[in-house]
Structure 1
Amino acid sequence: MKIGLYFGTFNPIHIGHLIIANHMAEYSDLDQIWMVVTPHNPLKKKETLLDDYQRLHLVFLATEDYAKIKPSDIEFKLTQPNYTVNTLAHLQDKFPKHEFALIMGEDNLRTFQKWKNYEVILQNHEIYVYPRISSEVENLELKNHPKIHVIEAPVVEISSTFIRENIKKGKNVQPLLSSKVWEYIDHNNLYRK
């Protein structure tokens, strides 16, 4: 089975994440997409970040109706700070019959050569790249690499930051979230402070 790993803090997961994940599941050769919830990043302000398990629960709520999309807490169990190369090695050990690929936006591909052991990742894993408004894939040196696949996915520019800021302002962001995610956030008064 070929699994696409879509990493993120998902703070909160929104319809943009689901559009990309579903597009990758339906229009590429990936069999499943695992939404890998990244634990607290030391570079991000903790006060804006929900608890790891709350964010995982939101991903579960958002994806439970999608047969090919699964939430993953695999990074919760790994030592921090964690690097993608380590996560991939751990997954390959744990699931030797699966093939793992990365899903990333064009903006991440631009800085990919700065990632720890990026050559090892590229040697052992394929990368599926989705478009972003803010970048041009034509200028990327890696785009012609045989392991990199640029997927013609919808360009979705919705950010979790925008959603959090506008919940705090009392704006209606309900159309940007799946109904179950919105109900959980609203019921639990999340992101209001």
Structure 2
Amino acid sequence: MKNIAIMGGTFNPIHIGHLIAAQCTSDHHLFDEIWFMPSGNPPHKEDEVIIDSAHRMEMCRLATKDHPTFRISDYELNRKGKVYSVDTFAMLQKEFPDNKYWLIIGTDSLFNLEEWYNHKKLLKIGAFVIVHRSGYDEEKSLEQQARLRECYNTSFMNVHMPQIEVSSTIIRQRVAEGKPINYYVPDAVSDYIHKHNLYQLGDDHEIR
């Protein structure tokens, strides 16, 4: 049996915030592997221009290749239609029943879990790593976890990480404006973005 934590997202692009959250999770030494799992067609990102999955996969690979427990998974990229966390959990548990899977989410997502697709099933079969950043009330977070645990028998564990004010949106905007992205992403990812001319402004002034 393996304990596997999943860091999901579009990774458009992957950045140091993702990596620090994963490292803080790894620091607990409770997980055999941490999977970075790029989304193919996420239901909550319909307004975002998402670059080709091959680019996002390669940037994840470059960002994590030297870490002993970080892995890259194309599990969601290979699925058609909208991709929901509940289906990912169910399919992984069916295919690899000896493993226990945990989804890494932020405190903000904790309070929105009951708005997720098929949340009753998700909260019964899923387990969650809650990454706490400064600015959130940890006592309220623990109260929410206790309520969900009582209602759905959901498993939670808590991780703390430094406040990192960085997002993929900020990085895409900086690239489009010709600003450097050093320290926002690993050097190998920055080099890849510039080599392939990703996130440039098109003729319609939209980021591509």
Q: Is the 8 A contact 1:163 1:173 kept in 2?
A: yes
Residues 1:177 and 2:181 are matched in the alignment = no
Instruction: Name the CA distance, whole Å, in 1 between partners of 2:99 and 2:156.
Output: 19
Instruction: Name the CA distance, whole Å, in 1 between partners of 2:88 and 2:197.
Output: 33
> 1:91 is matched with which residue?
92
Flag structure 2 segments of 5+ consecutive residues without an equivalent.
202-208
Summarize the Cα distance change of 1:183–1:22 in structure 2 as closer, same or farther, 3 Å threshold: same
Note the C-alpha offset of 1:41: 3.2
Q: Is the 8 A contact 2:4 2:101 kept in 1?
A: yes
Q: Is the 8 A contact 1:105 1:131 kept in 2?
A: yes
Sequence identity of aligned pairs in percent?
A: 32
Match for 1:89: what amino acid? A
Instruction: Name the CA distance, whole Å, in 2 between partners of 1:28 and 1:151.
Output: 12
- Moved >4 Å (runs of 4+): none
Residues 1:6 and 2:14 are matched in the alignment = no
Residues 1:163 and 2:164 are matched in the alignment = no
Instruction: Name the CA distance, whole Å, in 1 between partners of 2:109 and 2:60.
Output: 21
Note the C-alpha offset of 1:133: 4.2
> 1:73 is matched with which residue?
74
Flag structure 1 segments of 5+ consecutive residues without an equivalent.
none
**Count of residue pairs brought into register by the alignment:** 192
- TM-score normalised to the size of structure 2? 0.85
> 1:45 is matched with which residue?
47
Structure number with greater Rg is: 2
Match for 1:19: what amino acid? I
Instruction: Name the CA distance, whole Å, in 2 between partners of 1:41 and 1:5.
Output: 15
> 1:18 is matched with which residue?
19
Structure 1 range deviating more: 153-162 or 96-105: 153-162
How large is the RMSD of aligned CA atoms in angstroms? 1.8
Note the C-alpha offset of 1:150: 2.1
Q: Is the 8 A contact 2:41 2:81 kept in 1?
A: no
Greater per-residue helix proportion: 1
Note the C-alpha offset of 1:134: 5.1
Instruction: Name the CA distance, whole Å, in 2 between partners of 1:161 and 1:134.
Output: 20
